[in-house]
Chains A and B, each alone.
Chain A
Amino acid sequence: MSQKGRVIDARALKSGGFIRQTEPEFFVARIHIFGGVIEADQIAKVAELAKRYGRGYCHLTFQKSIEVPYVKLEEMESLKADLEALGLGMANCGPRVRAVTNCQGCTINPYGRVDAIRLAKLADERFFGLDCPAKFKISYSGCSIGCANPQENDLGFHGMVEPQLIPELCNGCTLCVRLCQSRAGAALIMNKDTNLPEYNGSRCVFDGECIYCCPTKAWVAKRLGHSVWVGGKHGRFPRWSNRVADFVSDEDTLEIIEKTVAWYNANARRGERFGTCIDRLGLGKYKKEVLGDRWATAHNWTRHGDRPKGIKYQVLHTWDRGGAV
Chain B
Amino acid sequence: MSVLDLRGVSCPMNWVKTKLVLEEMEVGQTLEVLLDDGEPIRNVPRSATEEGHKLLKVSPEEDYFRLLIERR
Residue-wise interface mask of A (204-245) relative to B, using a CB-CB cutoff of 8 A (1 in contact, 0 not): 000000001101100000000000000000000000000000
Complex contacts, B45 vs chain A, CB 8 Å: 175, 213, 215
Q: Chain A 151-183, CB within 8 Å of chain B: the 1/0 string?
A: 000000000000000000000011100110000
The answer to whether A179 touches B41, judged by C-beta atoms less than 8 angstroms apart, is yes
Q: Please measure, in the bound complex, the distance between the C-alpha atom of A85 and the C-alpha atom of B65, giving whole angstroms.
A: 57
Complex interface residues of chain B between 29 and 72 (CB less than 8 A to chain A):
37, 41-42, 45-46, 48-49, 54-55, 57-58, 60, 65
Among candidates B37, B41, B55, residue contacting A216 with C-beta atoms closer than 8 Å: B55
Within 8 Å CB of A213, what residues of B?
42, 45-46
B41–A173 CB distance below 8 A: no
Q: Is the CB of A179 within 8 A of B42?
A: yes
Most buried by A among B45, B54, B57, B58: B58
Main secondary structure of the interface of A (DSSP, over half): helix
A residues in contact with B48, CB < 8 Å: 215
Specify the chain A residue showing the minimal Cβ separation from B57: A173
Are the C-beta atoms of B58 and A173 separated by less than 8 Å?
yes
Give, as a whole number of angstroms, the nearest-CB distance from A145 to chain B: 13
* With A212-B46, A215-B46: A178-B41 Cβ-Cβ less than 8 Å: yes
Complex: how many Å from CA A213 to CA B38? 12
- Interface contact A215-B55, CB-CB below 8 Å: yes
- Chain B proximity of A13: nearest CB distance (Å): 47
A215 to B65, CA, bound (A): 15
Q: Tell me the minimal C-beta distance from A147 to chain B in angstroms.
A: 17
Determine if A215 and B41 form an interchain contact, defined as CB atoms under 8 angstroms apart.
no
B49: chain A residues at CB < 8 Å are 215-216
- Which chain A residues border B60 with CB–CB below 8 Å? 174, 178
Contact assessment for A174 and B58 in the assembled complex, using a CB-CB cutoff below 8 Å: yes
A297 to B58, CA, bound (A): 38
Chain A positions within 8 Å of B57 at CB level: 173
Q: How far is B66's CA from A173's CA once the two chains are assembled, in angstroms?
A: 11
Chain A positions within 8 Å of B46 at CB level: 212-213, 215
Nearest opposing residue in chain A for B43, CB measure: A213
| Distance A193 CA – B45 CA, assembled complex (angstroms) | 25
* Alpha-carbon gap, A213 to B47, bound state (A): 9
A213 vs B41: C-alpha distance in the bound complex, in angstroms? 9
Give, as a whole number of angstroms, the nearest-CB distance from A111 to chain B: 10
Contacts of A175 in B (CB 8 A): 41, 45, 58
Bound Cα distance from A216 to B50, whole angstroms: 10
Residues of B close to A212: CB separation below 8 A: 46
Residues from chain A with Cβ under 8 Å of B42 in the complex: 179, 213
Name the B residues within 8 Å of A216 (CB-CB). 49, 55
How far does the alpha carbon of A179 sit from the alpha carbon of B60 in the complex, in Å?
A: 12
- Report the minimal beta-carbon distance from A208 to chain B, rounded to whole angstroms: 12
Q: List 24 A-B contacts (CB under 8 A).
A: A173-B55, A173-B57, A173-B58, A174-B58, A175-B41, A175-B58, A178-B37, A178-B41, A178-B58, A178-B60, A178-B65, A179-B41, A179-B42, A212-B46, A213-B42, A213-B45, A213-B46, A215-B45, A215-B46, A215-B49, A215-B54, A215-B55, A216-B49, A216-B55
* Apart from A175-B45, A178-B60, A178-B65, 13 more pairs, CB < 8 Å: A173-B55, A173-B57, A173-B58, A178-B37, A178-B58, A179-B41, A179-B42, A212-B46, A215-B45, A215-B55, A215-B58, A216-B49, A216-B55
B residues engaging A (CB < 8 A)?
37, 41-42, 45-46, 48-49, 54-55, 57-58, 60, 65
Nearest 7 CB-CB pairings of A with B = A215-B55, A173-B58, A215-B49, A175-B58, A215-B45, A179-B42, A213-B46
